[in-house]
Amino acid sequence: MDPKPQQSGDGRSRGCSLMLAEASKQPQRAAKGTKQQPYRRPRLVSGLACADRRSMSSRAPGMRAGAYAEGRFRRGRASWRAQIRWVGLACFGPFVAGGLVVPFVYPRPLAIWAAGVVVGAAIAAYAVLADSPPAHVENWRTGAEGERKTARRLRALGNAQWLVVHDVDAGRGNYDHIVVGRAGVFLIDTKWPAGTLRIENGVPWITRREYPEAEVRYPQFGPRAKAAAARLSHDLGLRSERRVWVEPIVVVWSNFPAVIHAESGCTFIHGSHVVDWLQSRPARLEEAVAAALHDAVRALAAER
């Protein structure tokens, strides 16, 4: 669609303010012979004057970073606890029952103290087991913590030139963080694998501190980020009626000596540098286009 004519920011603000002030001072006059209606303050929208200030606001819809991953973790943990419930009862139940019976059978201070220790240890052991799900479930909790950490960093973009939304439903999965500004549209995927990260031929490798000789390969990070960016580009194109380029970013919170690595259409950045990197990008979108993309992102977040 053709962008609307733009006006200067100061002119728009003064124009809107004067129009609202005049409208509030002059009550509506009733026509002769008709009953006067109570005055209602008109809602004025002057071209992009008011629309820009709404669209370019950095306030995002009410999405909580890490909510999707946290939900997956809670469901996995609940399933894990259901599986170990009877195992825990069989393993720790006799110790708890015996510890509760001892004070009645041997009412001596030392026996009561020992029984209390046994009961406490059994309950504590079951609590630790219940909160120690398998690694594939625990990874969701780590992912949620990483997304919240990224969201805290992105708060530094809290000005009228940037819009940041978190945890937007993508149909299958979610978009971790969507950032829109004059520099473009960025889709950020947060990762926090344990260890030291290096990238070789576009493929991330993680070296564990405990087993430095056994490196773990994560070839899916880059392709998944690019596929999600293509899907988001399609979603925003339908809502803005324009072709939208979405740049995929993978933010990592592991030890990442390279700090920033761009290869094969995807950029890997350590979380501590993501804001500086975004702010260093040159502006390539007109203000009206950026405002339209702000609205498209808000519409997408509100729909899902």
Strand partners, 175: 168
- Residues 62, 66, 71, 72, CA torsion sign: positive
Q: What is the 3-state secondary structure (H, E, C) of 87-98?
A: HHHHHHHHHHHH
Distances (CA, A) of 213 to 33, 216, 217, 228, 290: 93, 10, 13, 33, 48
Q: Is the pTM of this model over 0.95?
A: no
**Kind and range of the H or E run holding 259:** none
Low-confidence ranges of the chain (pLDDT < 50): 1-60, 62
Which pLDDT does position 304 carry in this prediction?
64
C-alpha–C-alpha distance, residues 258 and 2, integer Å: 42
Which pLDDT does position 266 carry in this prediction?
94
Provide φ and ψ at 50, rounded to 5°: -90, -30
Which pLDDT does position 50 carry in this prediction?
32
Please report, for the chain, the start and end positions of each structural domain, with discontinuous segments joined by +. 51-65+155-303
For residue 190 the two structure tokens come to 């947060």
Nearest to 239 by CA among 45, 15, 42, 55: 55
pLDDT digits (tens, 9 = 90+) for 1-25: 444 444 444 444 444 444 434 444 4
Which pLDDT does position 52 carry in this prediction?
39
Q: Count the Cβ atoms, other than its own, within 10 Å of residue 42.
A: 10
pLDDT digits (tens, 9 = 90+) for 110-152: 888 988 888 898 889 888 888 888 888 888 888 889 999 999 9
Which pLDDT does position 274 carry in this prediction?
95
